Copies of this chain bind each other. A is one copy, B any other.
Amino acid sequence: MARVIVDVMLKPEILDAQGQAIARALPRLGFSGVSSVRQGKRFEVEIEGPADEAALAEVRKMAETLLANTVIEDFTVTVAG
């Protein structure tokens, strides 16, 4: 049993309307000093075996075909510490 984290973020050149709306709201809520907010997704994937290279490759494939939309999103795969 191991936990693999897949972080999915919009590509930098893609409009992040949601992140922008949050960033615009912050000063009104009394938070200053934030220059930008980007919002993405985080997936915690529990795999049955160990998080070896083969398993990570499998998760990467999963991220590429299902968890992320690679037309507009980038992803990173890491093993939970």
Contact of A41 among B25, B26, B35, B41 (CB under 8 A): B41
Binding site for B on A (CB under 8 A): 1, 7-9, 19, 22, 25-26, 29, 31, 33-49, 55, 58, 61-62, 65-67
Number of copies: 2
- B42–A55 contact, CB under 8 A? no
Sample of 13 A–B contacts (CB below 8 Å):
A22-B66, A29-B65, A31-B58, A35-B47, A36-B45, A37-B45, A38-B43, A39-B42, A39-B44, A40-B41, A40-B42, A41-B41, A41-B42
Q: How far, in Å, is A34 (CB) from chain B's closest CB?
A: 6
- A37–B31 contact, CB under 8 A? no
